[in-house]
Amino acid sequence: AGVSAFPMAARVSNKLGLEADPHNFLLMHALGANVAGQIGSVVAAGVMLAIFGY
């Protein structure tokens, strides 16, 4: 579920940034932070699977 939600979170961050300052463009920064979080989640899930031996 989190994988499909991160593009929307980045768009919302960009929209709020544009409302505060029309010259802001935060979409790539927001996507970068969200992708890093997704990679961290995948790595953590892989470690848990490795520990529990599934």
Query: If you average pLDDT over residues 10-25, what whole number do you get?
Result: 90
Residue-level pLDDT at 41: 87
Q: How many helices and strands (H and E) does the chain possess?
A: 2, 0
pLDDT of 25-47, one tens digit each?
888 888 888 888 888 888 999 99
d(CA 52, CA 54): 6
Residue-level pLDDT at 2: 57
Query: If you average pLDDT over residues 3-11, what whole number do you get?
Result: 77
Q: Where are the domains of the chain?
A: 7-53
Burial class of residue 29, CB neighbours in 10 A (0-12, 13-18, 19+)? middle
d(CA 10, CA 34): 7
